[in-house]
Structure 1
């Protein structure tokens, strides 16, 4: 499936949707494909990416489009990241925020228990906030670095 065919299929599905989440998903998918189309890709890269688009089977007609297209978009962006080190805009910031929310409460709980039982809840909430803030800051730095290197698909 060529880039144009994939964009056409996504636009056709987008026209049938009314849900805001799905419209954003289709817009993001189309934006990635248009960014790839605008890049100066080698014939081999185009062939590999179009082969991956064939494997995704985007033209499949399903009832549960949300689950299908969400997983296919994730699979496609993961493929682009692993094969070519290309990422979508805000990729590292989202990852940083996720890791901050995962590890922040543990760190906050550790510090909260050092000061007594009342401080546990305060430590947890501060840990989440500080973890998210640090994750977003680190992710933003990585996003800026990727943008300077020309690895961001936007």
Structure 2
């Protein structure tokens, strides 16, 4: 199944349902597929993507369509990330914030207890988490900006 055929298929599914959450899944697929079409991929890359779409068997009627296509969407995004280094918007910022909070909290607890005794535990943890989250967000935002410059970002938002 070509990217264009898959896009038409999901556009057709949008018209067949009234369920908002189901429509969001289809629109996310459509958005990603249209971005891939306009990306100027090589023939080999297009064939790889099309074979992945074929492997999903998306054109076979399903009983619980939303659940099935939502799972396939997650698999497709993971595939694009692994094979083509394409990431979703805010990917690095999310990771940076999580790591920053974790490391900041543990370091804050350690230094809070060392410098302020048992009363410093809460203050150190709070301060460390805030500083760690801020640093993680800043580093993640810089990495996201760099990925955007390299044209490695896919918008997964539905339009």
Q: Residues 31-73 of structure 1: CA distance to partner in whole angstroms, max 9, x if unpaired?
A: 221110111111111110011122233346243734x444433
SS in structure 1 at match of 2:117: coil
Question: Does the CA-based 8 Å contact 1:97-1:139 persist in structure 2?
Answer: yes
2:20 equivalent to 1:18: yes
Instruction: Name the larger-Rg structure.
Output: 2
What's the offset of the Cα at 1:13? 4.7
Question: Does the CA-based 8 Å contact 2:25-2:66 persist in structure 1?
Answer: no
- Which runs of 5 or more residues in structure 2 are unaligned? none
Q: Which has the higher contact order (CA 8 A, sep 6+)?
A: 2
Please, what is the CA RMSD of the aligned residues? 2.4
Q: Partners of 1:89 and 1:31 in 2: how far apart?
A: 13
What's the offset of the Cα at 1:148? 1.3
Q: Partners of 2:55 and 2:72 in 1: how far apart?
A: 10
What's the offset of the Cα at 1:143? 1.0
Q: Residues 18-37 of structure 1: CA distance to partner in whole angstroms, max 9, x if unpaired?
A: 24xx5554433322211101
Aligned pairs, how many? 151
- Which runs of 5 or more residues in structure 1 are unaligned? none
TM-score by length of 2: 0.78
TM-score by length of 1: 0.80
